[in-house]
Amino acid sequence: MDSRDPLEPPAAEAIDSELEFHFAETVEALMARGWTEAAARREAARRFGDRGKYYRNLKRLERNRVIRLFRPEALVRDARYGLRALVRRPGFTSISLLALALGIGVNTAVFSVVNSVLLRPLPYADPDRLVMIGNQAARGAASLADFLDWKNQSRLFETLDAFEINRFTNSRFTLTGDGEPEQVIGYRVTAGFFDTLGVKPLLGRTFAAGEDAPGRPPVVVVSERLWRRRYASNRDVLPRPVILNGRQHTIIGVMPASFEFWQRDPEAWAIYPLAPPTRRGPFFIRGVARLRPGVTVDQAAAEMDGIARQIELAHPKDYTRLRIAVVPLREIVVGNIRPLLWVLSGAVVLVLLIAISNVANLMLGRATARRREIAIRLSIGAGRSQVVRQLMIESLLLSVAGGAVGVALATWGVAALHSLAPADLPRLGEIAVDGRVLAFTLLTSIASAVLFGLVPAIIVSRTALTSSLKESDRGGESRRQSRTRAVLVGAQVTLSVVLLVGAGLLIRSFDLLGRVNPGFDAPPERVLTMVVSPTGPNFPNTPGVVNRYWMRLLERVRSVPGVEAAGLSNAAPPDRNSFLDSYEIEGRPQPPGSPNPPIPIPYVSADYFKALGVPLLRGRWFNEQDTPDSPRVAVVSDAFARRHFVGENPVGQRIVYGTWHLEIVGVVGDVKYRGLNRDTEPAFYQLAFQYEWWDMWLVVRTRGDATAQAPAIRQAIRAVDPGVPVDRIGTMARALSESVALSRFRSLLMTVFAIAALLLAVVGIYAVVANSVAQRSREIGLRMALGATRSGVRMMVVRRAARPILIGVAVGLAGSLALGRVLEGMLFDVAPSDALTFTSAVFILAGAAFVACLVPASMASRIDPIRTLRGE
């Protein structure tokens, strides 16, 4: 029986063949001396002994060879040689470094974002057990009565708390009593809010159990930013009385700047007193809870579904098909940004693959030019594994250097990201190049070295010694190498087409979104908006006090030189809506459980439409006849009229809104209040002065640039009452720009990646064609000596390069269709297979590729056939 050790098949086959040959010769020699065949075989077997010893010896030799192959001194020697080789070729090294740095750098930058937003745990204690709760959806609002029912009936939550998002005040507090009045973003929260999240204050304490009971003195926790900005980091601020929304609170703690929840920039968290509710509304509350250990989100959702049925049965007039959503907090924080991040991750991987294929082509061309050198090394005793090792070490050196430069590019890119990203990008402050990102960069560099270095190294190490030693340095490429390089070029083109189409779709979408009519005719740069919040001791909760202030304010602002019109509203386009509600049309009651869907209901002053330039289509605007004491009236949008009064005159009809019956006095053009990317929604307007509103948008139309008028307008507001804060001052042009910030951001990033891919592909095509021309210079010289024209040579070079490019374009278009379906949710008014975008991408790439081929083709046409054939 054969007792040999297992070996690699080629080695085992070689030993078998050699042993069989010598065994047969021994048998034949014995038989020639008169031995029988059987006796000769037995004698030969005795002489050869245990065949396994040959395999064991070979195995030991192989093992020693592998050890020698990776000895530290051998690796250091090859590293030194590789460095010298790279320095001797500055052009090749520079281009390769640039390609790798670009590919690795963009991957590192985007991984920094993905790591911070998607992979890193939320900055709360045991964050996987935190969930958000809301009516109908996790972001849906509930009432205090709903929250108390949840808290009393649920059993699967370790803690359950709430925070209030007030649509009327835009979740802002007016802070007075200890300095200049100002508005700060903030929420009212229940006593266990910070304990549920598992976060600790920087100074002082958070709310104690029972501190949200009715009648307890109100307290507030402020942010570190507010503490440093307003109170100059004074530790004696605790405890300190302040006035929030006209009511005295005591500061009890300071939260660190790293603490974020729901929004990036809250600066105050006031206690939410749990006074027994007298009705089911208003609906301003969201729940945040911590699951008990071992409880799943699905189990908690099932329990809340049961509670929803009980609430619905107990209050059939208030709820129909009530659903209470329970969603992991991570899903709420990440929000709609997850698809974008995965798309960007895919995009940068494509850029990296293009860079790798680019460098692989350069490495293959360089290794081809070194075939004679490699053949000499092999002929004087170097093993093929040693040649592969040498080339792989050069690749690794190149890749690690590219990774180092890539980290620098990524650090710059992350800094640029902080300035370019939309303000609501989740966890933006946590994005940084940290240890995990550096480890990712190192792994990416090593993987890149293997990908672009291994195949060229193996191909060249298999070079035929005799033919390579006979060839000159311009002996031409083998067919296998030529095919490999063509495949790499085709891959670069394919990936570039995909990125160009993706960027084109997003750019088209952004362009069309920017052309959407927001619904008003006033030039956006001539419209100034700001939030004015009259609260405090000068504004007691007495009917008429606030309205009289608004009237004085409008009169004073209109008197400012350069002001054409001024109006008030609790909402402002394009996405600053603060109030949605349902309604009925008088005489057309809705079936039970099927009310009209909630729509924007702005409360405005009479000159609001004039200030924005909203066209009047029928009837009249609000006027001086409409007073707090006159019958309630409404102005409806054109979309509202089309929905309810097709073929009828809406003017004179009535809207049933709560207990009010509002007569429609006019129809105006449609205005966007919930984003430019949403379909036009119906809306109806009510006169603000027929109600009492404490927080309003002041909309001012000026004759010139509104920004220049801002100081005078603000001074006019202070002249009416210096204690009233003014916030969120900006032009309508700025508001329109901010509303499309996310679309602009993703279009910009995809465009950068597409341009990077296109440049890399162009460099790769140029390098391949130029190298091919250099390798085939003798052939081209011979053709020209035999009568080939310069134009014919140029066409020959371009035609040969065109085949992989055309194949790459065709495959890229197919891949782009798949990408279009992935991007569909991010597109506005653009089909995923938009013909204009696809055609433009093909023409851009084809033009760039043609230029990349034309330059080396022109060089080929200028080859001197006589000097080339002489070998000069």
Tens of pLDDT, residue by residue over 33-44, are 888 888 888 888
| Residue predicted with more confidence, 236 or 556 | 556
Q: Look at residue 2 and tell me whether its pLDDT is greater than 60.
A: no
pLDDT (mean) for 826-833:
88
SS3 state of residue 198: coil
Higher pLDDT, 305 or 792: 305
User: Model confidence at 265, in pLDDT bands (50, 70, 90)?
Assistant: confident
User: Token pair for residue 445?
Assistant: 């560099």
Please give the single-letter amino acid code of residue 568: L
Alpha carbon distance 798, 855 (integer Å) = 10
- Burial profile 771-798: b = 16 or more Cβ within 10 angstroms, e = fewer: bbbbbbbbebbebbeeebeeeebbebbb
Q: Taking residues 691-710, what's their average pLDDT?
A: 91
Q: Measured between alpha carbons, how far is 17 from 5 in angstroms, rounded to an integer?
A: 16
89: CB partners within 8 A, 6+ apart: 366
- Residues listed for the chain: 872
Task: Say what the pTM is.
Answer: 0.74
User: What mean pLDDT comes out for the span 508-530?
Assistant: 92
Q: Which of 414, 334, 396, 338 is nearest to 106 (CA)?
A: 414
pLDDT at 141: 80
699 pLDDT tier (thresholds 50, 70, 90): very high
Q: Tell me what pLDDT residue 55 has.
A: 61
Asked if 150 and 160 touch (Cβ cutoff 8 Å), the reply is: yes
Q: Which range among 383-387, 612-616, 747-751 shows the weakest confidence by mean pLDDT?
A: 383-387
Q: Provide the pLDDT confidence category of residue 864 given band limits of 50, 70 and 90.
A: low
How high is the pLDDT of residue 465? 45
Low-confidence winner among 296-305, 441-450, 606-615, 684-693 (lowest mean pLDDT): 441-450
Identify the weakest region by mean pLDDT among 511-515, 785-789, 866-870: 866-870
HSE-CB at 63 with a 13 A cutoff on CA atoms is 9
Q: How far apart are the first and last CA of the chain?
A: 64
Enter the tokens of residue 843.
């023409």
Please answer whether residues 461 and 313 qualify as being in contact, where contact means their C-beta atoms are separated by less than 8 angstroms.
no
- Lowest-confidence range among 480-494, 516-530, 702-716, 837-851? 480-494
Mean pLDDT (the chain) is 82
Q: Does position 468 have pLDDT exceeding 50, yes or no?
A: no
The 10s digit of each residue's pLDDT in 123-178 is 888 999 999 998 877 667 888 999 999 999 999 999 999 998 765 555 778 888 77
Short-list 108, 121, 168, CA closest to 141: 168
* pLDDT, position 463: 55
pLDDT of residue 40: 86
DSSP 312-349: HHH-TTT-SS--EEEEEHHHHHHTTHHHHHHHHHHHHH
pLDDT at position 410: 85
Residues with Cβ within 8 Å of 80's Cβ and at least 6 positions away in sequence, in order, are none
Kindly tell me if the per-residue pLDDT of 9 is higher than 80. no
Beta carbons of 462 and 364 less than 8 angstroms apart? no
pLDDT at 474: 45
pLDDT tens digits, 583-607 = 889 888 776 656 678 888 999 999 9
Q: How far apart are CA 164 and CA 187, in angstroms?
A: 6
Residue 597: the pLDDT is 81
Per residue in 366-402, pLDDT (tens digit) is 666 566 666 666 555 555 666 677 777 888 888 888 8
Instruction: Please give the residue that has the higher pLDDT: either 673 or 438.
Output: 673
Q: Say what the pLDDT of residue 461 is.
A: 60
Give the rounded percent of residues in the chain with a pLDDT score beyond 90: 30
Average pLDDT over residues 746-753: 85
Cis ω before 316 (30° cut-off from 0): no
Q: Is the pLDDT of residue 85 over 60?
A: yes
Structure confidence by residue, pLDDT tens digits, 755-810: 888 888 888 787 777 777 766 667 777 777 777 777 887 788 778 878 888 898 99
Q: Distance between CA 146 and CA 125 in Å, rounded?
A: 27
For residues 558-582, give the mean pLDDT: 89
pLDDT of residue 5: 42
Whether the CB-CB separation of 446 and 404 falls below 8 Å is answered with no
d(CA 746, CA 415): 16
What residues are paired with 241 via a beta bridge?
A: 250
Picking from 103-117, 303-317, 444-458, which range would have the lowest pLDDT averaged per residue? 444-458
Q: Indicate whether 262 pLDDT > 50.
A: yes
Determine what percent of the chain is predicted with pLDDT higher than 70.
85
Would you state the pLDDT for residue 752?
85
Structure confidence at residue 372 (pLDDT): 61
- CB of 350 closer than 8 Å to CB of 757: yes
Q: Tell me the torsion sign for CA atoms 754, 758, 759, 760.
A: positive
Whether 654 contacts 661, CB under 8 Å: yes
pLDDT over threshold 50, residue 473: no
The amino acid present at 823, given as its one-letter code, is L
Please tell me whether residue 548 adopts helix, strand or coil conformation.
Answer: helix
Closest CA to 422 of 749, 147, 131: 749
Judge contact between 327 and 132, C-beta under 8 A.
Answer: yes
- pLDDT for res 427: 73
Tell me the two tokens of residue 715. 């001074």
In this model, does residue 702 exceed pLDDT 90? yes
pLDDT value at 284 more than 70 = yes
Query: Which helix (H) or strand (E) element contains residue 626?
Result: none
Which of 46-55, 465-474, 562-571 shows the highest mean pLDDT?
A: 562-571
* Weakest mean pLDDT among 206-215, 430-439, 451-460, 623-632: 451-460
b/e for 386-410, b at 16 or more Cβ within 10 A? bbbbbbbbbbbbbbbbbbbbbbebb
